[in-house]
Amino acid sequence: MGKIATKFADFAIITCDNPRTEEPRQIVSDILQALAKKQIII
């Protein structure tokens, strides 16, 4: 998800929606690790 977002978008907003049993911070962390290192603002 992170790779595709940074490849095809000028910017991406990472959020979590309905994480069910997953930890929301872990979801965001996993996505951020996969981002191309263009620019990350948290």
Q: Give the domain range for residue 16.
A: 2-34
Residue 16 placed within a domain: yes
pLDDT at 29: 85
The count of domains in the chain is 1
Place of tokens 């911070």: 25
pLDDT at 30: 85
Residue 23 placed within a domain: yes
40 close to 32: Cβ distance less than 8 angstroms: yes
pLDDT at 21: 93
pLDDT at 42: 65
pLDDT digit string (tens) for the chain, length 42 residues? 777 877 888 888 887 788 899 998 888 888 888 776 666 666
CA 39 to chain centroid = 12
pLDDT at 3: 78
Residue 40 placed within a domain: no
Residue 39 placed within a domain: no
Residue 42 placed within a domain: no
pTM for the model: 0.59
Query: From CA 25, how far away is CA 14, in angstroms rounded?
Result: 11
